[in-house]
Amino acid sequence: MANVIKVLNSLSGQPVYSFPVTLKVKAGAVGSILPGYLVIVDGGNAGYVKAAADTCDSDAKILGIASSTSTDTVGADGTVTIDTAPVLYVELFAKTPANLTAAMTFTNKYILDVTSSNYTLDQGTTSKGIFTLVDYDNVTNGLCHATLATNW
């Protein structure tokens, strides 16, 4: 399975909304959003959402993390459920674990890297970042904990 984002908790004083927050997904692909994908507003289709693409940054309307596979098909609109809160505490892997340093924690925000369905923290890009690095493993596997603020 690809590396995806896992919601651990909410840091906003409110619970993670794990009850189904159901949103519409535009037709065009079969199950275009998988659990663990970052979900954003679909700017090309009013009222719909989509999976975030590579280099997703703070210009996107960030909604949360998918908790289901979307039900869209090539010919029919579908839905997806997400976990959302004003600030989510998440777990994801770094794009290049060996480049992580203590100086990167709590200082900058980093963008999303998507390569072959792997959702990772791109610790090399801080311009318009969305993830604030809290802790990391730069030796074993690149597992990171970070905060992610939704902006809807």
Whether 120 and 139 share a structural domain: yes
pLDDT for 47 equals 97
65 and 38 share a domain?
yes
Task: Tell me, yes or no, whether 65 and 109 share the same domain.
Answer: no
Q: Are residues 24 and 77 in the same domain?
A: yes
13 burial (CB, 10 Å; 0-12 / 13-18 / 19+) is exposed
Q: Is the pLDDT of residue 14 over 90?
A: no
For residues 66 and 27, state if they share a domain: yes
Q: CA-to-CA distance for 81 and 20, rounded, in angstroms?
A: 5
Number of domains in the chain: 2
In sequence order, what are the residues at sequence separation of 6 or more whose Cβ sits closer than 8 angstroms to the Cβ of residue 85?
A: 10, 12, 14, 15, 16, 17, 64, 150
The residue type found at 129 is: G
Whether residues 19 and 77 share a domain: the answer is: yes
CA–CA dist 38, 58 (Å, integer): 13
Looking at residue 138, its pLDDT comes to 93
Q: Is residue 7 part of a domain?
A: no
Query: Does residue 42 lie in a domain region?
Result: yes
Of 47, 62, 83, the position where a domain reaches its end is 83
Q: Which of 57, 83, 109 is the last residue of a domain?
A: 83
Q: Per the structure block, which two tokens stand in for 150?
A: 């939704």
CB atoms within 10 A of CB 127: 11
Q: Tens of pLDDT along 23-53? A: 999 999 999 999 999 999 999 999 999 999 9
Closest C-alpha to 81, from 33, 43, 26, 124: 33
Q: List the domain range (segments joined by +) for residue 117.
A: 87-149
- Is 75 in the same domain as 113? no
Which of 64, 83, 102 is the last residue in one of the domains? 83
Strand partners, 40: 50, 62
Q: Which residue shows structure tokens 């590396």?
A: 3
Q: Examine residue 8 and state whether it is found in any structural domain, yes or no.
A: no
| Domain shared by 62 and 23, yes or no | yes
Domain-located, residue 118: yes
Pair 70, 24 in one domain: yes
Domain presence at residue 21: yes
Residues 51-108: tens digit of each pLDDT = 999 999 999 999 999 999 999 999 999 999 999 988 999 999 999 999 999 999 999 9
